[in-house]
Structure 1
Amino acid sequence: MGRLGWDLNSKTLEHTRIRDNLQSITQLPYIIFCSGMSRSASSWSYKTCLTLERLRTPENKIDCGYLNEADTLADAYVSTKMKSGYNALIYFSHVINKRALRMILCGIAKNVYTYRDPRDSIASIMRKEGCKYGPAFDFVHSSLLLFNLFAADQYSLLLPFPETLKDPLGTTAKIANYLDYDLSREQIEKVHLKTQRLTIDRRKRQRRKSAYSALDIEIIDHGLEVLEGEPTDAPGVNNPWRYSTLNKNQYADATKRLRNWLIKMNFPTSPVPPWGKN
């Protein structure tokens, strides 16, 4: 009789814990992480998610921002904000911390992961940050390990950079659908036009800082002008520095070591760089 009573009490406690866990999950804010490789339109995806969320959530009920990958308190920060009465949390980071990763992989949090040719990403980091090839490669490689997880978890939305650049309006619609919106084409266009302008302004500021001469600035300003036309048009970006930071040996090395990812992502696997084919 005592044994039976112990079993019943154990099951009751177990059911109580399950009920409490379910209740705590339903009380969580709507959580969105915008991750991805460096220079892959991850900042644009963050601005798009934030613009969309503002359509249904008051500004003072949203906590958002960039989680610095060097910040060891990022997990604690997210945990605190989850209990702070916000309706939505939207964070942008190139490195997903342990707590955030668990929430993504079990479907508690949404995750928009953007990616591009990893050799482009390496070159962009070297150019922007002024770092050497090795650290830039390692940083991109860590993001590719996340790609493996997110490609298999069925909860994340993966967005290739070429697709975003070619069809930003369609990509905006994909993000809206992923975040449980039912918007008209006109509403999608308004969101896209707003985030397009924000992205262009941000790029101009960033590239002006990295310019070496007045000619560089002229190229930047000209290349980042918005084309006249339909809302589906992408801004014309003339980026003469796409590969210029990588030498031929570095390009070949990255191609060899990242071949499996290049195949998965449908990028060229030739070790000969584009500028070396002429």
Structure 2
Amino acid sequence: MSCTLRSPLIDSHLLPNSQYDYVFCVGMRRGGSTLQTQLVSAILGRPTVHLVTPDTIAAFLQDHRDPKSTIVAKSHKFLPQAAELSHTGRARIVYVYRDLRDVVASIVKKYDSPPFSFVHGGLTALMKEYDAWTSVPGIHISSYEALTRDIAGEAINLADFLGIKLTESDAEMLADEFSVDRQRQSMRTTTADQGEGNNQFNSETLLHRDHIQSGSSGSFRDTLAPSIVAALEWQMRDWMKRNQYAPVHNVASQFLCNSMYSLKAMAHNIVRAKKTSNSVAEQ
């Protein structure tokens, strides 16, 4: 699947560094990856953005094995092929992460997912994706909080990483174009023409109908129950400390809430196993 962003806004003297063929935008789900991809595409002259997955990456690379210009691809799940291309110098990788509590809250709100599913494995999957991407040497890493706080500054940082000189005025134009207000306006005035269900989006802007919720940090407090937040904080306490996110609950509350959900899951599994056993016996 591919998407072409709107016509260039910045000066045409900005040319991609010919030393690499691909740029992979692989940010965390619901963590600012679309904004980062929009900036990368704009900096590179707005080429088509290709959406790739572990299932499609091999065919994608085969189809674009000898690109004449820089190819931009967007994904979330870890792609070993992208890591290898980065290692050989043929690709650049940009990544953005966000407070995982806000990520969980955003996914729950958008997809109506059960919050407890993240206590029982969902959060671990998100952290594994984070660990896989951030362990790749030489990639560009930014936080959602830094990205949204200073879009122009992040545009300049991305341009530097991509080997392109971006003027401050160009960066400010991009910051204005991709501000929250402008993005929300785009969501109101464009229609979804790609994807299915809750994943429908506009191929020009890359935005879903409800792509931006509050857009602020700490919104998990309004979406997730305190006990869920406490359990999540227990499971990601090392990750939070490493990335300087402050917990809401003390360690004792975190441990107790996580233990409570673990016991509930254990009891549920026992009951389900017993029902399955009885059903088999009756047959």
Pick the TM interval, shorter chain.
Answer: 0.5 to 0.7
Match of 2:230 in 1: 252
Match of 1:214 in 2: none
Match of 1:268 in 2: 246
Q: Given the superposition, is the C-alpha separation of residues 252 and 269 from structure 1 closer, same or farther in structure 2, using an over 3 Å criterion? A: same
Alignment partners' CA distance in 2, 1:248 and 1:31: 42
* Equivalent of residue 159 in structure 2, options 157, 176, 180: 176
Partner-residue secondary structure (3-state), 1:182: coil
Q: Given the superposition, is the C-alpha separation of residues 201 and 91 from structure 1 closer, same or farther in structure 2, using an over 3 Å criterion? A: farther
User: Is residue 20–residue 90 contact of structure 2 (8 Å, CA) maintained in 1?
Assistant: no
Residue 125 of structure 1, CA deviation: 0.4
Match of 1:145 in 2: 128
Query: Residues 148-198 of structure 1, C-alpha deviation per residue, up to 9 Å, x if partnerless?
Result: 344443311111111112211111111111111112211222222223366
* Equivalent of residue 29 in structure 2, options 38, 55, 58: 38
Structure 1's unaligned 5+ residue stretches are: 1-25, 211-223, 225-235, 273-278
Q: Where has structure 1 moved over 6 Å in runs of 4 or more?
A: none
Q: Given the superposition, is the C-alpha separation of residues 237 and 250 from structure 1 closer, same or farther in structure 2, using an over 3 Å criterion? A: closer
Alignment partners' CA distance in 1, 2:117 and 2:85: 28
Match of 1:108 in 2: 90
Residue 205 of structure 1, CA deviation: 7.9
Partner-residue secondary structure (3-state), 1:91: strand
Q: Which amino acid counterpart does residue 65 of structure 2 have in structure 1?
A: M
Alignment partners' CA distance in 2, 1:203 and 1:258: 33
Partner-residue secondary structure (3-state), 1:79: helix
Q: Which amino acid counterpart does residue 78 of structure 2 have in structure 1?
A: I
Partner-residue secondary structure (3-state), 2:178: helix
Between structures 1 and 2, the one with greater helix share:
1
Match of 2:51 in 1: 66
Kindly tell me the number of residue pairs found equivalent between the two proteins: 213
Name the TM-score, length of structure 2 as normaliser: 0.64
Residue 41 of structure 1, CA deviation: 1.1
Alignment partners' CA distance in 2, 1:27 and 1:175: 16
Structure 2's unaligned 5+ residue stretches are: 1-16, 191-196, 199-211, 251-283
Name the TM-score, length of structure 1 as normaliser: 0.65
Residue 28 of structure 1, CA deviation: 8.0
Q: Over aligned residue pairs, what C-alpha RMSD do you find? A: 3.4
Match of 2:59 in 1: 76
Match of 1:19 in 2: none
Alignment partners' CA distance in 1, 2:72 and 2:118: 26
Q: Given the superposition, is the C-alpha separation of residues 132 and 198 from structure 1 closer, same or farther in structure 2, using an over 3 Å criterion? A: same
Q: Which amino acid counterpart does residue 173 of structure 2 have in structure 1?
A: K
Match of 2:257 in 1: none
